[in-house]
């Protein structure tokens, strides 16, 4: 099968370890299923793997990719939940200490085939294309959990989304708007700020800009570059939800502000199978759809990765098999 594989790692030149080529078809363990991938989406996670973050070198070669939608050997159209955990674990899968996501321990989804435990399969909604469905399991699910499980934001509240162009950020903007929140967003780029308005943001700002008012919650994936602004933008008792740190993870904690304003800082990672089910229902009922920046054939994966490195993407890059 054709697959996009991490064959070596380099922090300075991550694309040097990206190999697109033939790999053996995967074996299907007992209780698992084969998915013939129709669409898979890129995530910043794939770049971290190529940089040597979160993927030990002794696991290479590793097929990249967390997100897929496709068709099983039995002909079911499915979306794949990316978290593979302890089969005996019950409850919130994101809290399973033995969990990993596809492409960390198990071969990933940027391939013509991926195998996953049967319980990781969810029916793909008919109204959603394979490309749209392939955007949901990581970026969109992460945004869903940040917003609806972790932030405490309710309809009518005001949220700030940092780094508007990103996969998680575009999802957060669209979902927050659909849920009746007032949505403010920042981006470094004027064109991305304009796009964020089209996607549902009520107002957009340059990074670090003084906001017209404080917000109830901030959704943060950028990290060091925006952290201080995130802390300053919260109202007393507000919540900063963080699920990523693209620009570095050692920001000043700003402890005085944290305790004096009684802020809450909440970590968030991926989402559960039942949150993915709820996200699928929300997309179906609201008409909200993932933002696909570009679709490319699997064989042209390198071009998609180059765009991700450049940071000129709004939403998701999808590879089709
Ligand atoms: N914990 C989890 O479960 C989880 C799940 C998904 C993602 N993540 C993490 O969340 C982060 C975002 O993921 P993603 O897939 O959404 O990435 P992405 O699509 O590559 O987006 C990254 C965004 O960060 C902003 N950014 C990058 N460099 C910046 C800088 N120097 N200054 C300001 N903003 C900058 C950009 O926004 P603008 O260009 O608009 O400013 C960019 O669009 C990654 O670190 C990823 O690993 C974590």
The response to whether residue 5 sits with its C-beta less than 6 Å from ligand 1 reads no
The response to whether residue 44 sits with its C-beta less than 6 Å from ligand 1 reads yes
Cβ-based neighbours of 198, under 8 Å, separated by 6 or more: none
Neighbouring CB atoms inside 10 A of 261's CB total 16
Of 80, 103, 81, nearest to 93 by C-alpha is 81
Round the average pLDDT of the chain to a whole number and report it. Answer: 97
Between CA 229 and CA 232 the distance in angstroms is 5
pLDDT, one tens digit per residue, over 139-190 is 999 999 999 999 999 999 999 999 999 999 999 999 999 999 999 999 999 9
The response to whether residue 187 sits with its C-beta less than 6 Å from ligand 1 reads yes
Q: Is the CB of residue 183 less than 8 Å from the CB of residue 175?
A: no
Q: Is the CB of residue 23 less than 8 Å from the CB of residue 65?
A: no
Between CA 152 and CA 204 the distance in angstroms is 22
Cβ-based neighbours of 123, under 8 Å, separated by 6 or more: 76, 77, 78, 79
Between CA 2 and CA 22 the distance in angstroms is 5
The response to whether residue 103 sits with its C-beta less than 6 Å from ligand 1 reads no
Q: Does position 54 have pLDDT exceeding 80, yes or no?
A: yes
pLDDT, one tens digit per residue, over 213-233 is 999 999 999 999 999 999 999
Q: How far, in Å, is the centroid of ligand 1 from the Cα of 162? A: 9
């Amino acid at each position: 099968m054709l697959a996009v594989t991490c064959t070596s790692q380099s922090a300075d030149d991550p694309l040097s370890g990206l190999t697109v080529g033939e790999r053996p078809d995967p074996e299907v363990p007992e209780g698992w299923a084969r998915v013939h991938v129709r669409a898979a989406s890129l995530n910043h996670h794939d770049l971290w793997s190529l940089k040597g973050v979160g993927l030990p070198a002794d696991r290479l070669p590793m097929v990249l990719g967390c997100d897929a939608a496709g068709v099983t050997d039995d002909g079911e159209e499915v979306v794949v939940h990316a978290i593979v955990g302890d089969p005996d674990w019950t409850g919130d899968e994101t809290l399973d200490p033995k969990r990993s996501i596809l492409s960390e321990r198990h071969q990933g989804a940027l391939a013509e085939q991926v195998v996953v435990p049967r319980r990781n399969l969810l029916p793909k909604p008919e109204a959603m294309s394979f490309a749209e469905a392939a955007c949901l399991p990581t970026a969109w699910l992460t945004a869903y959990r940040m917003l609806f499980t972790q932030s405490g934001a309710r309809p009518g509240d005001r949220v700030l989304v940092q780094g508007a162009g990103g996969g998680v950020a575009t999802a957060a903007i669209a979902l927050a708007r659909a849920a009746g929140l007032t949505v403010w967003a920042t981006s470094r780029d004027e064109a991305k700020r304009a796009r964020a308005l089209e996607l549902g943001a009520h107002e957009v700002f340059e990074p670090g800009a003084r906001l017209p008012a404080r917000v109830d919650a901030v959704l943060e994936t950028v990290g060091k570059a925006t952290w201080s602004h995130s802390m300053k933008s919260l109202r007393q008792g507000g919540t900063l939800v963080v699920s990523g740190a693209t620009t570095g993870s050692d920001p000043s904690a700003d402890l005085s502000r944290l305790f004096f304003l009684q802020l809450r800082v909440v970590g968030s990672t991926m989402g559960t199978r039942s949150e993915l089910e709820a996200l699928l229902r929300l997309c179906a009922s609201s008409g909200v759809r993932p933002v696909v920046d570009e679709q490319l054939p699997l064989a042209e994966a390198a071009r998609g990765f180059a765009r991700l490195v450049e940071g000129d993407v709004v939403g998701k890059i999808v590879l089709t098999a």
